[in-house]
Amino acid sequence: MNKVNQTQIRTKPKKLKDMEKHLGKVTKEADGFQVRFERIFSHNIHTVWDAITNPEKMKYWFTDIEMEAKPGGKLTIRFRDDAKTATYGEIVSMDPPNKLVFTWEGELAVWELFAESDNKCRLILTYSRLDEQYAVNAPAGFHILLDRLEGLLDGSTVFHPFGTEENDPENLKMQELYTKAVYKDYPELEKYKPIVIERTYNAPVQKVWRALTDKDQMKQWYFDLDDFKPEVGFEFEFYGQGLKGEQYLHLCKVTEVEENRKLTYSWSYKGYKGMSYVSFELSGEGDKTKLRLTHKGLYTFPDNPDFAKENFNSGWTELIGTLLRDFLESKTTVG
Q: Is residue 220 part of a domain?
A: yes
CATH number, residue 238: 3.30.530.20
Last residue within a domain, chosen from 141, 167, 187: 187
| Same domain (yes/no): 176, 228 | no
Question: Would residue 8 count as lying in a domain?
Answer: no
Residue 63 falls within a domain, yes or no?
yes
Three-point CA angle 146, 148, 149, nearest 5°: 60
Average pLDDT over residues 264-270: 97
Under 8 Å between Cβ of 228 and 218: yes
- 45 in any annotated domain: yes
Domains identified in the chain, total number: 2
Cα–chain center distance at 64 = 18
- Top-confidence residue, 244 or 93: 93
Burial of 119-153, coded b for 16+ CB within 10 Å and e otherwise, reads eebebebbbbbbebebbbbbbbbbbbbbbbbbbbb
Amino acid at 24: G
Whether pLDDT at 333 is above 90: no
pLDDT for residue 310? 94
Asked whether residue 203 falls in the same domain as residue 146, the answer is no
Same domain, 138 and 248: no
C-alpha to C-alpha distance for 331 and 335, rounded to whole angstroms: 10
pLDDT, tens digit, 9 for 90 and up, residues 105-115: 999 999 999 99
The fraction of the chain above a pLDDT of 90, given in percent, is: 86
**Residues 219 and 236 grouped into a single domain:** yes
What is the distance between the alpha carbons of residues 224 and 3, in angstroms, rounded to a whole number?
44
182 shares its domain with 199:
no
Amino acid sitting at position 189: L
Is position 210 within any domain? yes
- Which of 142, 161, 187 terminates a domain? The answer is 187
Provide the sign of the torsion angle of the four alpha carbons 9, 82, 69, 25, taken in this order.
negative
User: Looking at the structure, do residues 81 and 145 belong to the same domain, yes or no?
Assistant: yes
Nearest Cα residue to 52 out of 84, 118, 96: 96
Question: Are 98 and 180 part of one and the same domain?
Answer: yes
- In this structure, is residue 5 part of a structural domain? no
Whether residue 172 is found in the same domain as residue 222: no
Residue 161: inside a domain: yes
Q: At which of 167, 187, 207 does a domain end?
A: 187
Average pLDDT of span 64-79:
97
Q: What is the pLDDT of residues 209-255, one digit of tens each?
A: 999 999 999 999 999 999 999 999 999 999 999 988 899 999 999 99
Q: Domain containing 116: what range?
A: 16-187
Same domain, 32 and 144: yes
**DSSP code, position 3:** P
> Taking the chain, what is the end-to-end CA distance rounded to the nearest angstrom?
36
Query: Do 204 and 234 fall into the same domain?
Result: yes
Q: What is the pTM of this model?
A: 0.77
Query: pLDDT, tens digit, for every residue of 281-295?
Result: 999 988 999 999 999
Indicate if the pLDDT at residue 171 is higher than 90: no
Average pLDDT for 318-328: 97
Band of residue 1 on the pLDDT scale cut at 50, 70, 90: very low
Q: Count Cα atoms within 13 angstroms, Cβ side, for 307.
A: 20
Domain assignment of residue 322, yes or no: yes
Same domain, 167 and 208: no
| Same domain membership, residue 164 and residue 221 | no
126-134 average pLDDT score: 97
